[in-house]
Amino acid sequence: MKKIEHIGIAVKNIEESNTLFASLFGKPHYKMEEVLSEGVKTSFFKAGPNKIELLEATNPESPIAKFIEKKGEGVHHIAFAVKDIYSEIERLQKEGFTVLNTTPKKGADNKLVAFLHPKSTNGVLIELCQEIE
């Protein structure tokens, strides 16, 4: 793993949260994107060298809607940048981690993504991200 790529925060209303985080960081989000396959609308902020991704559900069956229903708004996942997502998935499976999607899928911000189940990572959903070239 190369670095923390971003921290994902589940929110009920992305427009209200954009206003809140713009005030917090002193600048507006730099990108918004919808990921239809995940039923989510995203908004990205930079905080120094780090990124924050806000996630709003676009349908009641999306993972974000279910997360908010169960736990409320808050930190949803931590994403790590990886050089080769396929070999990283294989390595982590051999180490005993439960990979939720063994075939990476297209995520927001031009990334291939895969997730590790929180039950295998001390209750934290981990996202692996590789830049699509």
The answer to whether residue 1 scores a pLDDT higher than 90 is no
What do you get for the CA distance between the two ends of the chain, in Å? Answer: 18
The answer to whether residue 113 scores a pLDDT higher than 90 is yes
Average pLDDT (30-41) is 94
What is d(CA 3, CA 82) in angstroms, rounded to the nearest whole number? Answer: 8
Instruction: Report pLDDT digits (tens) over 87-101.
Output: 999 999 999 999 999
Instruction: Give 2's pLDDT tier (boundaries 50, 70, 90).
Output: confident
- What letter represents residue 100's amino acid? L
Q: Which of 122, 66, 130, 131 is nearest to 97 (CA)?
A: 122
Instruction: Report pLDDT digits (tens) over 37-86.
Output: 899 999 999 998 899 999 999 999 999 999 999 999 999 999 999 999 99
Round the average pLDDT of the chain to a whole number and report it. Answer: 96
- The model's pTM is 0.92
Residue 25: per-residue pLDDT = 94
Query: Cα dist. 60→38, 100, 118 in Å?
Result: 11, 20, 21
Q: Going edge to edge, which strands form the sheet with 31-35?
A: 31-35, 40-47, 50-57, 3-10, 74-81, 125-131, 111-116, 105-107
User: What percent of the chain lies above the pLDDT cut of 70?
Assistant: 100
Q: What is the DSSP string of 93-122?
A: HHTT--BS-SS-EEETTTEEEEEE-GGGTT
Instruction: Give 104's pLDDT tier (boundaries 50, 70, 90).
Output: very high
